[in-house]
Structure 1
């Protein structure tokens, strides 16, 4: 049964296979795409992968170094045993960009495991984590033409506030 976990080296093989799927798809403008740009191919080495995992977990800490435009972020991986299925990021606070475009929560599911209900289950499972961080409601955004994400967000109780440019902005209760 899939579950949200903190990033772990136990899914390294499956994680790297998923990253190859995102590369083949042409992933861009996401946390996953940024991970690929910065870390591949070095993370094929188990020690470098372990360093990457620790860095992802450390991003949740207030005192971790980060670019000025980044905020503390808890990243969780959606896994089934040793199979990496996707990731979800919970941004602890909103800066101007996140308020307008990115939101509190962003997620993606590996391409070969889409349309299986993982995104909805993952977002539902992440809402208590967001509440524990003091977030209620959570802003979740998606592209205006992303029918799959619109359905996921609405299935989790998202209420559309508005559409800004190409982004739909929803408030999702975490309680």
Structure 2
């Protein structure tokens, strides 16, 4: 059974294996990885995990706060999911919740399960509804969002492609 855990430097090797499953250079939402983050070395990885903890632990303003969780099963990183607390420009573009599941762990309900847990977190924060965005044509992600009551608001050109924008009422 998977678990959602806070990012930890202890899983450096397991996280690198998950990244390699996606392929080098491929970004998956939910990890909070920025182009400037250096995650291959233990020191760089530890610094990145510390930044994620700072964003989760109210070191930033509420508008920029984000709860990061890794989807882990027996110390194997299956994916990541992020809950963005505010409604700033980034959230308007990317949504309150972003997630990604490594290719070898897909089609097992992992994303559906993780999204359900993060919606529980959103309720605890007092959010009444959340925006979840996926790439147009990503039918697996759309189905995951719809399973949790997601209603398609619009199809939008983002500059990086076309996105489906869903609202989930909590």
Short-chain TM bin: 0.7 to 0.9
1-side partners of 2:104 and 2:144: how far apart?
18
Alignment partner, residue 120 of structure 1: 112
Scaled by the length of structure 2, what TM-score is found?
0.84
Of stretches 28-37 and 3-12 in structure 1, the one that deviates more from structure 2 is 28-37
31 and 3 in structure 1: CA distance in 2 versus 1, 3 angstrom threshold: closer
Q: How does 1:149-160 map to 2 (within 5 A)?
A: 149-160=141-152
In structure 1, the partner of 2:33 is 34
1:36 Cα offset (Å): 6.7
Superposition CA RMSD, Å: 2.3
User: Could you tell me how far apart the structure 1 residues matched to 2:45 and 2:36 are?
Assistant: 14
CA distance in 1, matches of 2:2, 2:95: 24
> Once the two structures are superposed, what CA deviation does each residue of 1:6-34 show, in whole Å capped at 9, x if it has no partner?
1123432211111122334x514746483
Gaps of 5+ in 2: none
Q: What residue number does 2:168 align with? A: 172
Deviations for 1:98-135, whole angstroms, at most 9, x for unmatched residues?
22x21100000112211221111110111111112222
1:9 is aligned to 9
The 1:12–1:73 alpha-carbon spacing in structure 2 relative to 1, beyond 3 Å, is same
Give 2:59's match in structure 1, choosing from 63, 81, 96.
63
- Looking at secondary structure, tell me which structure has more helix per residue: 1
Match in the other structure for 2:95: 103
User: Does residue 1:85 correspond to 2:84, yes or no?
Assistant: no
Residue aligning to 1:131: 123
Cα separation, 1, equivalents of 2:77 and 2:54: 20
- Inter-partner Cα distance in structure 1 for 2:33 and 2:80: 13
Go from structure 1 to structure 2 and tell me whether the alpha carbon gap of 1:9 and 1:81 turns closer, same or farther (over 3 Å shift).
farther
